[in-house]
Structure 1
């Protein structure tokens, strides 16, 4: 494996982990390290997808997903305190940025020649990124709610107790969650619409209701129902968290899960 390729993928991981370690320190050092990590991660994604022709698979998708998620996390950090959430996401992003070294994915140069294939791929990745962060956010909210309402709660001087103190209030976390879901739903709508209505331009074949399409549409419906329920009936709390996690699980089954089975379990490209 070329040493330059290894360095390209190690740099974002190094910056993310450095930002993770500095996230609790005063000053803007963590923000600078995070920005450098995002730039290095973008370079690694460019090299992975375009460096030797178009390549894409479950590992590059996960890497791109976490890259988008970290960008949104950085933007949210401009308004609210998200250091605790950052400590959860950054190690995952560091691992995901190195994963394409082991699983580079399939060559999609032929498909990339189709007029709408690349926009469909980009918008789909954006949908996964935003909704992945929403799912992580929902898991944090679930753990926080259980700790706060499940009895005595963690000791204030424990690691988890300090972690809870750094989180914004639950109402703020919930507002951020629905912001992520709304943005992700827009991207997911564009992805589903382009795949269903412009299948010839995207995939080079008539529309086929395969398992990937079915799971994507069901996930889209779950997030749509959640947003409508939030607006009309004020859905929040455990209902919102469960539907968020269920919707993202369906997205994983729609693409990432199928690619993992093909590339890792069955050894296909």
Structure 2
């Protein structure tokens, strides 16, 4: 990723220790393009590789999150961002990694949703760790209504994230969901007034950034790696992840800062 990062359809900026990735194709409600997918994947990698980054916020430009696949491209009119096609040839799995289907960043990912977050947008959302939405946001997996299959991972992931009856209704009806309903079934965690999703996501990110980065990353890894284990196996794996954190300088700094009534200064060691 070049300095500043991004592509013509993916804007990148730093907010302190947070990397903000903005889907930036507002004229198409941020429908997926090759340039967007390449920029997204590069953004995930940049966050993983830069220890100064402690969290990631994913949002969309122009009052929309993501309208999913570019149906005009699917109809044979060509997908925007053809100049990046060589990247896809070099890595045939890049698009899945970009959509968080085949890649999980080690830093927490917070989605800030305004407007439509449908089809591929809802599929990318399932790869985010924390999800905030404006009251006017909408969600849904429309693929079956168009004779398509939600191949971004939803038939596997959605039933693990919300009750199966809700997952199947969303997958099989292709209907639109309001932010309130998405919150009620557990697809998103918080509904805020329209226009405040990004600010709220950044506030959450700041809270995460103030915590010990080694502890944060270990906790996230433990949650995902134990999700499909038995309780006994999960508890054993948790100890393997958790005990080494106690033997870090950051852990000692956290205890010192508490005793001295000051903010801790964590150094990832």
Taking structure 2 as the reference length, the TM-score comes to 0.32
Structure number with the higher helix fraction is 1
Structure number with the higher strand fraction is 2
Q: Which has the higher contact order (CA 8 A, sep 6+)?
A: 1
Taking structure 1 as the reference length, the TM-score comes to 0.32
